[in-house]
Amino acid sequence: MIERAVRLIDAGGAVELEGRGVNRSYRLADGDRVLSVKVHCAATSAETDHQRIQRVDEALRGADWYPPVLDIGHTAPDRLVVIRPFVPGAASEDAARHLDVLAGVLGELAAGTAAVPAELVWDYATPWLTEGEREHLAAKEMLTGEWDTLLRAMDEHLGDLLAGALRLTGTGEPALYHGDLHGRNLIWHESRPLTVIDWDETGFSHRPADLGKALWLSCRKGRGDFELDPPAVRRFLALLRANPALPLADPADLARLGAIWFLPRYHHVTLLAQRDAQFIPWYLGWVSRFWARFPANLDLVSRG
């Protein structure tokens, strides 16, 4: 299936889907089926990436909101390809309208603990906690000129963010981790109430990393900005407290953990540049808006 899909893509027989990530997504027809094909870049095509996606697929098959892997493997020269059923429907532009459903998904993921090799346990906080000095130095080389304000914000908050992440790091079996839960990855259709898509970053984590990131991406007043909506924040935190499958956490530490995802990594920016150099100013401007609002938003969450 993979070789046939890649041939169709290379021949122009597939529709490339819009996205600003480092990997590419396609929709293509295969007989009477419509497939979703994710072609990973070289940096996200390691054998550990293959194993993470496959192990999560084994754990989640049967969940009514999960699109199962139909085929997975490498194709020349170095691309990991993942094929799933294409999910028709509309993405949620306003995830705050669906917090109850999102909390249910978060609970099912958190409850799916598993014994896995250490190399499959990873989330967006991992590089900063394990190689923080190197990450910081690389960011300093990158954030010059007009991005100096972004660097100052990172310098100001980094220590507190990492301390919060450490306080939320568990010692038991890691939980299932999606990695990018936000409105555009929640697909709604009359025949299927919810499907969660985009499992590129999936794996296993010792931290409530999905919860921290979802707090920021699902409780803001609108896409493209980062002013949190107080009623949505209160509702989100109440849902977390009410779900016994979700780990109890200090709201401020949960916000600090999620904020680590908005620290610009040199590695990520380099991958974006390889796909499209125009993505760099868009991305750095986007995370700059996050950090400009971070102190006020953190205060809001702390009072939540």
Q: Residue 212 pLDDT > 90, yes or no?
A: yes
Q: Which pLDDT value is given to residue 195?
A: 95
Average pLDDT, the chain: 93
Residue 190 pLDDT class (50, 70, 90 cuts): confident
Share of the chain above pLDDT 70, in %: 99
What is the spatial distance between Cα 106 and Cα 208, in angstroms, rounded to a whole number?
A: 9
Residue 35, burial from CB neighbour count under 10 angstroms (0-12, 13-18, 19+)? buried
Q: Residue 111 pLDDT > 80, yes or no?
A: yes
3-state DSSP assignment of residue 52:
helix
3-state DSSP assignment of residue 92:
coil
Inter-residue contact 36 to 87 (CB < 8 Å): yes
Q: Which pLDDT value is given to residue 218?
A: 92
User: pTM for the complete prediction?
Assistant: 0.94
What is the spatial distance between Cα 52 and Cα 69, in angstroms, rounded to a whole number?
A: 12
What is the spatial distance between Cα 262 and Cα 187, in angstroms, rounded to a whole number?
A: 24
